[in-house]
Amino acid sequence: MAEMIEYSHAKTLYFTSTRHYILDNINSSNLVSNYQLEARILTTVFEQFPEREHLVYLLENFHSISQELSFSGIQFLAYLNCKTILRGASECNLRQLQESILRVTLTQEDGAIWYVDIPYSQDVENIISEMKKWISIQMQQAKLEYDSEFSWEKIDSVILAPRAAAYLVHEIFGHTLEYDYVKSGRSVVRAGDKGSRIFPPGITIKDAPLSATNLGLKFSTSDDVGRPLQDITIVRDGIIENFIMNQRASSYNNEPLFRMYNLFADANSNGENLETIIKNTESGVVINQIPNGFINPEIGTFSLQCSDCMSVCSGKINKRVPSITLKSTLHSVADSLIHIGSDLENSVSYCSKNGQVVPVGVGSPSFVFNIDIIGSRD
């Protein structure tokens, strides 16, 4: 059996208002002495890494933005991670993962958190422009008062903005369709459900590993067991067409697991965008972000920690709502979905399974649910 080799090289920039540092980490395992392989590694790695003048430009802007936000009681944190992993058998072509992502996090004194992931490129001026645009939007929302009289009894609908909906698609739909859970009976979805409508009509879900480069992710042409990667439809109009069969490992020492690469829900061409959805809502709550959550695939129950929430009254954003924990079931999601938006947004996230953390693409348009999605709420 061929000996496995792995090479990883990461450059990380970490910035806060009080300190910053740049790390340059190289790790290799069973790396053979082969000048052609070494040349390929060096070419692959250094093509994506930031040049020194780009890092200086980023740091200067981070510093000025951080100072400006501090006057409003906002803490600014930026984390840039550029990483290349090459893995495979020594006599075979190496599989490759490239990850180039800038995460920006804003934290308010009252504990409110906003974050965004921006694909890194050599066009650092555009990155700063996009970041400032995003910060401006968050600061407008931060000025809203808290709704001290918020009550679920007054709410008719729950609106998930694209980023929050993408998290739900990944956790609730994605994990229940991973083949190891399905084939072992540890998912509420069964192998015999293929060809059946298990999810809401109108829902189409794809896993597109070959289409993730614009997210700051570049995958190889095969997964970590040598299976060719391709963009496929998992669910079409609520009907299961495929299960998630690709396998990934966070390192060559770990067992490959059935994992998502770039899973997203398609937009509804006849749907509305978030702005229009809000205008058409009499009484509701908008959930903009879900920082973390958990699903039990076997029984389909989940708990989602929701942040950056706002109440809607007569078609207008009203006030901010304290953080919400949604606890419900896959069946409640399926039964209560009443609208799929047209505003698909794709981004990146990180997924943990059996202790292995890997970067993934996520995406969704806005979703609107009636109040029945709420099994319980805190």
Q: Report pLDDT digits (tens) over 22-74.
A: 887 767 665 444 444 444 444 444 455 677 888 889 999 999 999 999 998 99
Query: Which tens digits make up the pLDDT trace of 269-309?
Result: 999 999 999 999 999 999 999 988 888 999 999 999 888 89
Average pLDDT over residues 169-185: 95
What does the domain layout of the chain look like in residue ranges? 4-142, 152-377
- 20, with CB counted inside 10 A (0-12, 13-18, 19+), is middle
356-364 and 262-265 strand pairing: parallel
| Helices 52-70, 124-142: crossing angle, 10 deg rounding | 10
CA 335, 338, 342, 344 dihedral sign is: negative
Pure H helices in 161-243? 162-168, 179-183
Q: Per the structure block, which two tokens stand in for 160?
A: 């998930």
The DSSP code sequence of 52-110 is HHHHHHHHHHHHHHHHHHHTTTEEEEEEEEEEEEEEEETTSPPEEEEEEEEEEEEEETT
Is 202's pLDDT higher than 70?
A: yes
Q: By C-alpha distance, which of 182, 200, 296, 199 is closest to 243?
A: 182
178-192 pLDDT per residue, tens: 999 999 999 999 999
| Average pLDDT over every residue of 224-238 | 94
- Residue 208: pLDDT over 50: yes
- pLDDT given at position 86: 77
Burial 279-291 (b: 16+ CB within 10 A, else e): eebeebbbbbbbb
Distance separating alpha carbons of residues 199 and 237, to the nearest angstrom: 8
Instruction: Read off the pLDDT of each residue in 69-83 and give the average, rounded to a whole number.
Output: 92
Across 212-231, average pLDDT: 91
Predicted pLDDT of residue 223: 92
| Residue the block writes with tokens 């319980």 | 376
Report the amino acid identity of residue 240: I
Mean pLDDT of 104-131: 89
* Per-chain mean pLDDT for the chain: 87
Read off the pLDDT band of 247 (50, 70, 90). Answer: very high
pLDDT of residue 36: 47
C-alpha dist (Å) from residue 316 to 234, 272, 324 = 36, 16, 20
In this prediction, residue 25 carries a pLDDT of 77
Query: Comparing C-alpha atoms, which of 158, 187, 159 is closest to residue 174?
Result: 187
Distance CA 174, CA 177 (A): 5
- Residues 6 or more apart in contact with residue 15 via CB below 8 angstroms: 59, 62, 63, 66, 76, 77, 78, 79
Nearest Cα to Cα of residue 304 among 336, 327, 333: 327
Q: Measuring CA to CA, which residue among 88, 78, 174 is closest to residue 131?
A: 78
pLDDT at 326 (0 to 100): 87
More confident residue, 121 or 237: 237
Cα 345 to chain centroid distance, Å, stands at 10
Three-state SS at 232 = strand
